[in-house]
Chains A and B, each alone.
Chain A
Amino acid sequence: MNATNGFTPGHSYFEATARQRLQQILDAGSFREFLAPETVEVSPHLAALDLPGAFDDGVIIGAASLGGRRVLVAAQEGRFMGGSVGEIHGAKIVGLLRRAVAERPDAVLLLVDSGGVRLHEANAGLIAISEIMRAVLTVRAAGVPVLALVGGSCGAFGGMGIVAKLCSAILISEEGRLALSGPEVIETVMGVEEFDSKDRALVWRVTGGKHRYLMGDCAELVEDDSAAFRLGALEYLDTHGEPEPSLFTLRAVQQHLSDRMVRFGAYRDGLEVWADLGVAQPQQVPLLDRDSLVALKKGLPA
């Protein structure tokens, strides 16, 4: 279906479980899990609330190879409590990232599929998220790129939306979503006039993969296919190193975001943003396939 993209489509990334995604993306048979089920505690917070936990607390971590590169990888399971970050879940990711600082693998992959902090675990979950943020930056400062892959049903929201943006780059599919507050949260706090979370098309026009790609928030837009995510990650690692942290770059990014607020801040819908970006027929954007959208973005004024 996608000759130009050079992969054989097979498995929907969106439909796959976290464990299936690891099998489909990494080199066959290379994944070695750390803290496998039954070797770590199940969440004591969920048990205290009389809720069944999961053996892996909703995240799988380990070492593997990707196209022969040594990688450390974490995959969140969006179907378990919205991929939420509880204390153990967060500690597993932080431990993986700290290991990356010590071992210097070729890259770290974060298969993000999460609504953010696990509210049941309150402060423990919030602290875990902030530790993940710090650890991501430490890994990058050590010269190891951290890639976020976003294409699951929970997208990357809340604290994990921030974590994704702290990564070296984000690979996203059309199905993927990226934002801070989730649609339901915005509607609950600000009212349906502010944001109608039941309008799924609107939700995707504001948080979805195509919008994030057009806005430049994500490095690559890929098909909803594990092979496409694999290829996208390999292409990124082939063509990018991890740059030295630079105050100049940070200030430039901050200025870009400030300018963006001024330019787009009053808009209510992705359609208005795309028109401003120079898209001639913004209403066609949701209907375009991946390759057409990538071509469209390349043709936009800088």
Chain B
Amino acid sequence: MNLMEKLEFKFPAQAGKTSPITALCGVVGSGNLEILVRTGSDADVCEVSIKTSARGFGEIWQAVLTDFAEHNPAGGTRIFINDMGATPAVVSLRLGQALTEYLGVAQ
């Protein structure tokens, strides 16, 4: 059985601006994922919840998200991900795209 895995992460991250919008990027299709970014509760924390059809990749998610939180002003965001087996490179690109869209209308 290929059951869904749920993962939760919290990273310290440089505080970004607060945006009025909820950004949504990508599609839950094979090898792809959708990422929703909205304002979180803590200005210097990036909190991520993941639902993925590919089990057993928690360490890789941890590495990709750590890198994202270290290199982007992702503090103050709450991120939700629905994944259908996207590769780490695709995940990184989508994270950057979603954050850019979210911050694009920052106040």
Contacts and interface: CB of A to CB of B under 8 A. Distances in A.
A230 B3 CA distance: 41
Contacts of A53: 28, 51, 82
B36 A55 contact: yes
Nearest to B30: A79
A6 interface: no
Given A52-B4, A54-B82, A80-B27, 20 more contacts: A17-B27, A36-B22, A37-B22, A38-B22, A38-B38, A50-B1, A50-B3, A51-B4, A52-B51, A52-B82, A52-B83, A52-B84, A53-B82, A54-B28, A54-B34, A55-B34, A55-B82, A77-B27, A79-B28, A81-B28
A83 to B, nearest CB: 10
Nearest to B50: A52
Given A51-B53, A55-B82, A37 B4 contact: no
Contacts of B3: 50
Contacts of A19: 24
Contacts of B80: 38, 55
Given A37-B22, A37-B24, A80-B27, A52 B36 contact: no
27 contacts: A17-B27, A19-B24, A37-B24, A37-B36, A38-B22, A38-B36, A38-B80, A42-B82, A50-B3, A51-B4, A52-B4, A52-B28, A52-B52, A52-B83, A52-B84, A53-B51, A53-B82, A54-B28, A54-B34, A55-B36, A55-B80, A55-B82, A56-B24, A79-B27, A79-B29, A79-B32, A80-B28
Interface string B82-105: 111000000000000000000000
A220 B24 CA distance: 33
Interface footprint category on B: 10 to 19
Interface of B: 1, 3-4, 22, 24, 27-29, 32, 34, 36, 38, 51-53, 80, 82-84
Nearest to B54: A52
Interface of A: 17, 19, 36-38, 42, 50-56, 77, 79-81
A77 B27 CA distance: 8
Nearest to B26: A17
B93 to A, nearest CB: 15
Contacts, number: 46
Contact of A54 (B1, B22, B27, B53): B27
Contacts of A42: 82
A16 to B, nearest CB: 11
Contacts of B28: 52-54, 79-81
Contact of B4 (A17, A36, A50, A77): A50
B72 to A, nearest CB: 21
A141 B37 CA distance: 41
Contacts of A54: 27-28, 34, 82
Contacts of B1: 50
Given A38-B38, A50-B3, A79-B32, A55 B27 contact: no
Given A51-B53, A55-B82, A80 B4 contact: no
Nearest to B27: A79
A52 B85 CA distance: 11
Contacts of A52: 4, 28, 51-53, 82-84
Contacts of B24: 19, 37, 55-56
Nearest to B28: A54
A36 B24 CA distance: 10
B9 to A, nearest CB: 17
A54 B53 CA distance: 12
A19 B83 CA distance: 18
Nearest to B1: A50
Contacts of B84: 52
Contacts of A55: 24, 34, 36, 80, 82
